[in-house]
Copies of this chain bind each other. A is one copy, B any other.
Amino acid sequence: MKFSPLVQELIHSFKCLPGVGAKSAQRMAFHLLERNRIGGKKLAESLALAMDNIGHCQQCRTFTEADFCDICLSPKRKISEQLCIVETPADVIAIEQTGEFQGLYFILMGHLSPLDGIGPDDLGLDILESQLAKNQFKEVILATNPTVEGEATAHYIAELTKKYQVNISRIAHGVPVGGELEYVDGNTLSHALSGRKNYHF
């Protein structure tokens, strides 16, 4: 004996979420059905709208429903000579919250991972290169995660950036090795930014 088809389908659908197995999916379905149908409908609407309408900023690649994100459109930022390269949109928010950086960003939406088939093209490095060629950046800050993959990605981008005659720096290891940038507290992140050093080849 199983749940009714529609209940089963709902439970199954929740399993597309990261970290959600059979038991969690069931708990989510029952919670909404029993206690929060309005919240469930709202989630359905937001999801449908988001999946159809959210794309990537044409300049920095962050998620946005507009052609360009607010940071890329900001007149103050546009004239910045610093470009900070991060792995995810969440990292941008974390860095913005330190208040230490007023430049532009480039979001890789991941890191190099040959085993998963994630190469330079998947990280938009062609877009990055066209921006390095076009803009007059004085400094490129490599702010990928301090993980093995993040370091390898930083190294790859540093090599690629060399020819554009721009200063290349890596955020300092104030951030705990093996950790993920978005979970680092603001203070540590401030130190990591202000203590950044020239990239050593």
List the interface of chain A (C-beta within 8 A of B): 1-7, 9-10, 12-14, 16-19, 23-24, 26-34, 36-37, 39-54, 63-66, 69-71, 88-90, 92-93, 96, 109-110, 182-183
B44 touches A9 (CB 8 A): no
Tell me which residues across on chain B come within 8 A of A33, comparing CB atoms: 50-51, 54, 63
CB < 8 Å neighbour of A7 from B4, B18, B54, B183: B54
Set of chain B residues within 8 Å of A51, measured between Cβ atoms: 32-33, 37, 40-41, 44
Residues B43 and A14 in contact, CB atoms below 8 Å apart: yes
Identical subunits present: 2
CB-based contact B13/A54 at 8 Å: no
A48–B54 touching, CB < 8 Å: no
Task: Report the bound CA distance from A50 to B17 in whole Å.
Answer: 17
Whether the Cβ atoms of A6 and B50 lie closer than 8 Å is yes
Q: What are 16 A-B contacts with C-beta separation under 8 Å?
A: A4-B66, A6-B49, A7-B63, A9-B49, A10-B50, A16-B36, A16-B40, A23-B183, A30-B63, A30-B88, A32-B47, A34-B109, A41-B48, A44-B44, A44-B45, A45-B48
Q: Are B34 and A50 in contact (CB under 8 A)?
A: no
Please determine whether B10 and A47 come into contact, CB atoms closer than 8 angstroms: yes
Docked CA distance A89–B27 (Å):
11
Complex CA distance for A118 and B126, rounded to whole angstroms: 59
Cα–Cα, bound, A183→B42 (Å): 30
